[in-house]
């Protein structure tokens, strides 16, 4: 116990506190907040004078440097286990095991049951099925179990004012976050989130918080750490990005061979189904719109799917076909368990 306490103290002391009040970008941020959002300069100066620099978050946005290979300290058995895992599974299978496992499905069913009334009201208002909202929360934060441990203000300030290729993006997010702290009446120093400053059960960046957040419980605040507001805000995000109520998301299709290269795949490529030769759904699919071809690379073959407009909408939440497919498949598994 004493060793753990000592380690914790050492970790705290290792966090560098920095005064950004003389930083050119910080001065611009302060001036913007004072002029546009009527902040008091004194309170902002106090905030920016003592920022705990989040080096681990910053490291993820810096160019990767070549480092000398260090000695592999794993045992032969551990190395063999890793090799066996990669020999057995392909990229999609590894991703699937991480995101769509029995535990995640079971937790998703329990989460929907726990907030049944909220899910029903949200689905009726926004037209987004509850299982897709729950699946996003499950993948983003394990249903609220892991909303992040980084102090959002310090993280955004670090990423806004330290040099890296996305600093301007984070300057804007910092301004929006502080504006939110004013409109939603919370202390910006008390909010925890991801290494990029994402907040709440659905991991909204401040700009999305501002654009899509919903005060569903009508308490006068949008609080994305609360299930009611988070569930409604995710539904609102999907709806505003084009979710089509009652339409499908994806269907698996068949083709000849084990590897698919005939057409370009990915959510950016849109096709009229009649122009896709040698491809057909494995069961009846009455969707009339154009489709994306989504390829999931497995160890022994490529799994191919049609992605409908709603599949593309999910990629607006996270720009990854694998992410959107994980949401879809997790949602379908949750739905099957709920309707049993």
Q: What residues contact 63, with CB distance under 8 A and at least 6 apart?
A: 165
CATH of the domain at 34: 1.10.8.350
Please, which pLDDT band fits residue 16 given cuts at 50, 70 and 90? confident
Local structure of 105: helix, strand or coil: helix
Q: What angle do CA 221, 225, 229 make, to 5 degrees?
A: 50
Number of folded domains in the chain?
1
Judge whether 194 lies within some domain. yes
Give pLDDT, residue 88.
Answer: 64
CA distances for 293 relative to 12, 91, 253, 311, angstroms: 49, 17, 9, 11
Span 233-237, average pLDDT:
98
Q: Which domain holds residue 183?
A: 16-52+148-198
Judge whether 273 lies within some domain. no
Instruction: State the pTM of this model.
Output: 0.90
Judge whether 83 lies within some domain. no
Judge whether 264 lies within some domain. no
Judge whether 222 lies within some domain. no
Judge whether 189 lies within some domain. yes
* Lowest-confidence region among 61-65, 80-84, 252-256, 281-285: 80-84
Q: Is 120 a catalytic residue?
A: no
What is the phi-psi region of residue 192: left when phi exceeds 0, alpha when psi lies from -120 to 50, beta otherwise?
Answer: beta
Judge whether 166 lies within some domain. yes
Judge whether 38 lies within some domain. yes
Catalytic residue among 131, 140, 162, 173: 140
Span 289-295, average pLDDT:
98
């Amino acid at each position: 116990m004493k060793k753990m306490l000592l380690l914790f103290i050492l970790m705290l002391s290792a966090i560098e506190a920095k005064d950004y009040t003389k930083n050119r970008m910080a001065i611009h941020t302060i001036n913007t907040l004072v002029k546009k959002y009527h902040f008091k300069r004194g309170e902002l100066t106090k905030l920016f004078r003592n920022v705990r620099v989040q080096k681990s978050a910053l490291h993820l946005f810096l160019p990767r440097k070549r480092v000398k290979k260090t000695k592999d300290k794993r045992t032969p058995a551990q190395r063999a286990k890793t090799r066996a895992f990669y020999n057995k599974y392909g990229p999609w299978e590894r991703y699937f095991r991480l995101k769509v496992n029995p535990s995640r499905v079971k937790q998703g069913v329990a989460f929907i049951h726990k907030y049944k009334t909220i899910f029903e009201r949200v689905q009726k208002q926004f037209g987004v099925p509850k299982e897709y909202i729950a699946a996003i929360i499950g993948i983003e934060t394990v249903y609220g179990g892991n909303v992040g441990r980084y102090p959002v203000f310090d993280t955004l300030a670090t990423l806004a004012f330290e040099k890296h290729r996305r600093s301007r993006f984070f300057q804007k997010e910092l301004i929006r976050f502080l504006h939110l702290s004013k409109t939603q009446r919370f202390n910006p120093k008390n909010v925890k989130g991801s290494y990029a400053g994402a907040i709440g059960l659905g991991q909204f960046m401040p700009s999305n918080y501002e654009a899509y957040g919903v005060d569903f419980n009508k308490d006068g605040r949008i609080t994305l750490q609360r299930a009611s507001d988070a569930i409604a805000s995710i539904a609102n995000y999907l709806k505003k990005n084009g979710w089509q109520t009652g339409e499908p998301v994806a269907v698996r299709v068949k083709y000849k061979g084990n590897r698919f290269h005939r057409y370009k795949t990915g959510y950016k490529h849109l096709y009229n189904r009649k122009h896709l030769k040698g491809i057909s759904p494995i069961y009846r699919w009455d969707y009339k719109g154009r489709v994306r071809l989504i390829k999931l690379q497995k160890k022994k073959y490529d799994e191919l799917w049609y992605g409908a407009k709603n599949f593309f909408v999910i990629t607006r939440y996270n720009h990854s076909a694998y992410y959107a497919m994980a949401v879809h498949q997790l949602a379908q598994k949750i739905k099957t368990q709920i309707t049993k």
